[in-house]
A and B are shown apart, each in its own frame.
Chain A
């Protein structure tokens, strides 16, 4: 294998979504894989749909936290607003499904602007606390505003009917979510290669320099909030159908933290990271529940040569341990800590290293990525 160079002959090449034809073909292959996936593993279609929805959520928070540097601890609230708006518009007002999604998008964007306004004066931890407070207020509002939200009794959600087509089946819903995720990726990618995306990154890295280069901080911080919230709103509409039943206690702070976990574990500052994070957060519970069933069996199989009783005892002990409640959040926590310690660039950072290893195969140097102490401004403050 040889080191591959991208030979550039025009500036246009730097404006494409993909680096070159090779990369585009890989993504096409991935798309084909995703299109046939429901045939290969029909049992997991529902779980993969959740990956797509979480992917939209990850994009949303990635724009805000990863690209603009505004860390929000209240994104579950935007998801809730989107979900409730969609269900209210479609079920209570009887408007078409598409209108529901559009309104979910618009309403959350408007709320995003409102939340973004105080963000003009707050940075860092203070902003996170403010968004956290906002999320708590929204959760309370969802509980109390019974006429619209159904309060604690909740609200049942019917299957989506898009342009008169019933998308009741799991596979149909899978494709619906996939379409929305691809659209979200495309739109976000467009913004990020245009002046708006650059202005966001500029705000993240140095507000004062961004301002001196002509970036209106008020406009771009608000637009980041609005766009992020709008994506969350659309994800909320899909999420409502996914869970089939809305209740205020779904959109808790814990969910917000899970979204944050998604972008950090995935890798801050890249769209790939948002998707890797979504896969991780959506599929880890599935993996855990699988492991709950299979680990005791495996371990007892290992222990059984030492006698029949040893096998049974191992099975019982391990089974009791893995079925203890609270194992899942604990695992999430451990994994987060491990990532921050060993791979601050997240899954995407690791992915890039593996790619580099293969593309430079016999010449890979471990030292390429050795972390060293630097005393430049950026490193000192982080």
Chain B
């Protein structure tokens, strides 16, 4: 059974139909990539999956459960985490605090307990810290642990954002253009990390990406969209050679 399924997603912004009947299934343990020219509706699909937008029509099914009407903050608790195209970190907090917020979906302490900082809260905090430290080790973020995000370079911020998403212990990780703004070397690192996330952590990845070298090196399947409509689905090579995809990118 597929881990995630989108069924006939439609999203209208006023008169503009940004997503027009997109359906796809993601199998557990695969890296599924959505590609498409600018304005094709990729990020809109992302925002629909993470429930930030209310779909005009269609259904989202995660792990056999309909999540089309689940509020956005509940999505993380069910095991879906995401990053953002333009980096949405908490900039005036340290990397560690950012990552600890990634543990929010696992929060078990109550307000009054926290107010008094009871031993139970301290124990839970240590538990969160340990989970965060595992992610820090995994992504080699040790030197940046106590730095404020505002003081970090762009490439590091990208990694921190991915780390924050991993801290929620997701089963499905949504990466919105993980390589945008990165140098060639950083993009290569990113490719290795995405592969590790899949093979070592066993997390399924849904990704939007422009960099075709990254797409072909990590993706199991690729979905091409244009004008909100799916135009091709298959391996990276198949999709790249698909006549409709070539037409969408090059015109004609």
| Interface of A toward B, CB cutoff 8 Å | 11-12, 14-15, 187, 190-191, 193-199, 201-202, 204-206, 208-217, 223, 269, 376-378
Query: For residue A204, which residues in chain B have a CB less than 8 angstroms away from its CB?
Result: 90, 92
A201 CA / B98 CA spacing, docked (Å)? 10
Across the A-B interface, the 5 shortest Cβ-Cβ residue pairs: A214-B76, A214-B105, A194-B114, A209-B88, A205-B90
Contact, CB under 8 Å: A15 / B122? yes
Task: Let me know if B221 is at the binding interface, CB within 8 A.
Answer: no
Chain A residues, CB < 8 A from B75: 212, 214
- Residues of chain B within 8 A (CB-CB) of A216 are 71, 73
Interface residues of B in 45-74 (CB under 8 A from A): 50, 52, 71-74
Residues of chain B with a CB closer than 8 A to A269's CB:
92
Provide the residues of chain A in CB contact with B114, threshold 8 Å. Answer: 190-191, 194-197
Q: CB distance A15 to B52 under 8 Å?
A: no
Which of A14, A187, A208, A215 meets B52, CB within 8 Å? Answer: A208
For B115, what are the chain A residues with a Cβ–Cβ distance below 8 Å? 187, 190-191
Q: A198 with B100: in contact, given A211-B73, A214-B105, A215-B73 (CB under 8 Å)?
A: yes
In the assembled complex, the CB of A62 is this many whole angstroms from the nearest CB of chain B, namely 14
A193, A198, A223, A377: most-surrounded residue (chain B CB, <10 A): A198
Task: Count A-B contacts at CB 8 Å.
Answer: 117
Instruction: State in angstroms the CA–CA spacing of A205 and B84 once bound together.
Output: 14
Q: B249 an interface residue at 8 Å Cβ cutoff?
A: no
Residues of B within 8 A of A (CB-CB), count: 47
Q: Contact partner of B126 among A12, A210, A211, A213, CB < 8 A?
A: A12
Query: B126 contacts A11, CB within 8 Å?
Result: yes
Bound-state CA distance A375–B38 (Å) is 23
Chain B residues within an 8 Å CB radius of A190: 114-117
Kindly identify which residue among A14, A193, A378 contacts B117, using a CB–CB cutoff of 8 Å.
Answer: A193
State which of B72, B90, B121, B129 has its C-beta within 8 Å of the C-beta of A201: B90
| A208 contacts B84, C-beta separation under 8 Å | yes
**Complex interface: chain A residues within 8 A of B87 (CB):** 377
Task: Pick the residue among A11, A199, A212, A214 that contacts B129 (CB under 8 A).
Answer: A11
Give the CA-CA distance A191 to B110 in the complex, in Å.
11
20 chain-A/chain-B pairs, Cβ below 8 angstroms? A14-B96, A187-B115, A187-B116, A194-B117, A194-B121, A195-B114, A196-B111, A202-B93, A205-B91, A208-B52, A210-B101, A211-B52, A213-B105, A213-B168, A214-B74, A214-B76, A214-B107, A215-B104, A376-B150, A378-B150
Q: Which residue of A lies closest to B50 (CB)?
A: A212
Assess whether B168 is in contact with A214, with CB atoms less than 8 Å apart. yes
Q: Which residue of B lies closest to A187 (CB)?
A: B115
Q: Which residues of B contact A378 (CB under 8 A)?
A: 91-92, 150
Taking the closest CB of chain A, its distance from the CB of B168, in whole angstroms, is 6
